[in-house]
Structure 1
């Protein structure tokens, strides 16, 4: 699981789980979730993560509307959400482009899991250093062709009362 900001700076990375583990499960077990919940309880209400439809909607984690109708405000929100969320795909693409050993990390990084995690974490730190020093991305490819899909698939989403999170998402919707 990777979290980045709008400049492609990696703000959080958790490479401890194999690729078959869904990001929402990794998130639910992470120190990041605990931190975000605590920040929210302490009154920090001006920052949100964008998560795909496999994540549970939270006051600090905005997800797309499910089954939005063509032409609706929910669909417009989902398209803007996908645009904002595409930065993570671009960041991961740039990271893998900079550090080619990560291209097939789930299949080809032939190290024990602890060492593979360390390699991924170091690559993320070096990526951030490259951003700080404006190091050009070698053979940069375009990673902005991410499309939004309303279908969640077989991802299990935790059932919780998200009325506060829904209110936040609806307030964002009203600004469109």
Structure 2
């Protein structure tokens, strides 16, 4: 054999042996790699991550398709077009006084006076984006909602505004009324003598007001019906009102939970503190009967505690003619506060059903209704197109008896009541 061919064959054999060894080592390495990866995935949270990543890769085209399908068209309007024709061309131009009083509870002249008083607070600046809503329309929106008791959606359709804009206008208007008009409208003022003369003509002398409470239904705040739930099984707040002989409010306490008793609200009210200290009515209005000093008195029902200035009926303890006559005259004159509550709720219909507003805005809305009630009463605006609402929910006799044991001012209160009972009977005998 040729030695060269022998060498070439030997080299080829060596190369083939080396190649087989390399292939064997490579396959061993691959097997070891697969076993190592399997052990890692079985003992590590990377499995979830790898599966999630693979799932995302599979769904990525579908996600992109949904994203493209849900894209909205470009916005066409900065402000959604609404019609203001009803307010500008019908109400302002063609409505007469009767229709104004029927729908807005006040004449157009009173409405413009209210707008002028609130303009510094409700006026908004003109910006480069849009012109502000006029004060007249903002006030009209709020009064319409208070008077009609309708929803924000219906009011927004009428006045050509958004629903949220109507809600903001109502709250801002009520806050402005409470801030600027409450102290100027709900007060005794300088008419204490006139109020006494009015109650004296009605049959009760030396009286400056009648007090009672009524429930204003509200939505249970934050799903807490027990916080404001009353004995009639609905959520409410209490409005304690004191009115004069004409039915105008001279004091209003708003905000106590409906589950509280009238006597509890009265004992913690500013009216009680001011009358006890003599800061509300000066001493020069006192009179003397049978040697007993009689301050100006306020009339109440049997649910209230006795005070020397707070007169409540004898009730079932009335045995004499003077006592029974006292109860009749007191009930006749105290009825003015119940009629005022009826006129208040009949004029501002939002108070006749459950107030659909937030808890923090309830007091401002009710207070604004009281102020506007006084404004309409002082202007002589009648309630057109609606009867008076039922009288407020009164306490039962059992609940009235629960507060008969309050003896803090009972003795002096009884002395004043007996003196007034004899005085009223004497006046009737002399007629």
CA offset at residue 57 of structure 1? 1.0
CA offset at residue 37 of structure 1? 0.7
| Structure 1 Cα separation of the partners of residues 274 and 349 of structure 2 | 32
Equivalent positions of 1:152-167 (< 5 A) are: 152-155=397-400, 156-157=402-403, 158-167=406-415
CA offset at residue 52 of structure 1? 0.7
Q: Secondary structure at the match of 2:387?
A: coil
CA offset at residue 70 of structure 1? 6.9
Bigger share in helix? 2
Equivalent positions of 1:81-100 (< 5 A) are: 81-100=330-349
Q: Secondary structure at the match of 2:242?
A: strand
Q: Secondary structure at the match of 2:255?
A: coil
| Structure 1 Cα separation of the partners of residues 334 and 389 of structure 2 | 12
Name the residue aligned to 2:352. Answer: 103
Could you tell me whether the CA contact under 8 Å between 2:243 and 2:249 is conserved in 1?
A: yes
Name the residue aligned to 1:131. Answer: 377
Equivalent positions of 1:14-25 (< 5 A) are: 14-25=253-264
1:102-148 alpha-carbon deviations (Å, 9 max, x no partner)? 113xxx112233311111100000001101111112236368999xx
| Structure 2 Cα separation of the partners of residues 166 and 13 of structure 1 | 26
- Name the Cα RMSD after superposition: 2.8
Could you tell me whether the CA contact under 8 Å between 2:242 and 2:251 is conserved in 1?
A: yes
Q: Please say which of residues 92-101 and 77-86 is displaced more in the overlay.
A: 77-86
Matched, 1:76 2:321: no
Matched, 1:118 2:367: no
Q: Please say which of residues 15-24 and 126-135 is displaced more in the overlay.
A: 15-24
CA offset at residue 69 of structure 1? 4.7
| Structure 2 Cα separation of the partners of residues 35 and 123 of structure 1 | 24
Q: Please say which of residues 65-74 and 20-29 is displaced more in the overlay.
A: 65-74
Name the residue aligned to 1:38. Answer: 277
Q: Secondary structure at the match of 1:87?
A: helix
CA offset at residue 28 of structure 1? 0.5
Q: Please say which of residues 27-36 and 17-26 is displaced more in the overlay.
A: 17-26
1:145-176 alpha-carbon deviations (Å, 9 max, x no partner)? 99xx9x63224322324222111111111021
Matched, 1:66 2:312: no
Which of 151, 169, 174 does residue 417 from structure 2 map onto?
Answer: 169
Q: Give the direction of change, closer, same or farther, for the CA distance of 1:9–1:30 in structure 2 (3 Å limit).
A: same
Give ranges in structure 2 of 5+ residues lacking alignment. Answer: 1-239, 287-294, 426-431
Q: Give the direction of change, closer, same or farther, for the CA distance of 1:131–1:61 in structure 2 (3 Å limit).
A: same
Structure possessing the higher radius of gyration over alpha carbons: 2
Matched, 1:52 2:297: no
Which of 260, 266, 278 does residue 27 from structure 1 map onto?
Answer: 266
Name the residue aligned to 1:9. Answer: 248
Could you tell me whether the CA contact under 8 Å between 2:242 and 2:250 is conserved in 1?
A: yes
Could you tell me whether the CA contact under 8 Å between 2:256 and 2:265 is conserved in 1?
A: yes
| Structure 2 Cα separation of the partners of residues 66 and 90 of structure 1 | 21
TM-score with structure 1 setting the length: 0.84
